Structure 1
Amino acid sequence: MNRNILRAIHFTAVCTATALIAAFWSSTVISELFLPHHAVALLKQSIAYGMILLVISMAATGATGMKMGGKSKHARIAAKRKRMPVIAANGLLILIPCALFLNMRAAAGRFDTIFYTVQAIELLAGAVNFTLMALSMRDGRAIRRPKK
């Protein structure tokens, strides 16, 4: 595949994934603080469905990043390469199960201590993933920036 096309796919996937993480996180905080339970339940359902797009964009990010980075020893590429498994594991082992659990709990109207504990875990894991994605975006931009 042409390197420019690969770069465009990577950029689009990274931006999509990061925007989704930010949207899920911020909409959760806003809905929990200011909206009634039925709105929170609707948001949790939307996030559960939105996870499909997030998983696709994260997979595309990882695949295109690995293809472009190859076996490079560049420090920033190595840092990005180390972050990706953490981001993926966090998403697969924490964020997806939390999103599905919270969706089921909210749909049943069970806004209890368990719900809010899992919600706190999800918010923390989402903040970690957003931070790691932002760091990788910063490193990606630095790699592309011409040296002075």
Structure 2
Amino acid sequence: MSHHNTAFHQLLKPVSRHDFERLAKEHHHGQKLRSATRWDQFIGMAMSQLSGRQSLRDIQSNLESQKHKLFHLGAKPVARSTLARLNEKQPAELYEALFYKLLQRCRNSPSSHKFRFKNPLYSLDASAINLS
């Protein structure tokens, strides 16, 4: 079976795994993580955010059903209780630092071409107007 990158993998390309792991070590509190890593948490939460999941049970079932695709991202499914514990106990400063790292990378990358539209651009207003 041939391997093809998923759209989710392409979205994660700007996130350097090496930088993520370094930031995770800096922002880790408490005991050593046994069953899941911060990368597993990040992949699980990013996937759930993009797919519109509502609960931890929904996130867990989605991760279980995508187990074969998670393997190619270097992650594994996370149990519901583990995900809840990670979200509660581990600081969110890791994701803030990751955001600033990505922002710095985007600002420093030179753009190779100018962004422009060849066709006219129309903006639609969706505000409601009372007629009566």
Which structure's CA Rg is the greater one? 2
Q: TM-score scaled to structure 1, two decimals?
A: 0.31
Relative to its length, the structure with more helix (as a share) is: 1
TM-score, length basis structure 2 = 0.34
Higher relative contact order (CA 8 A, sep 6+): 1
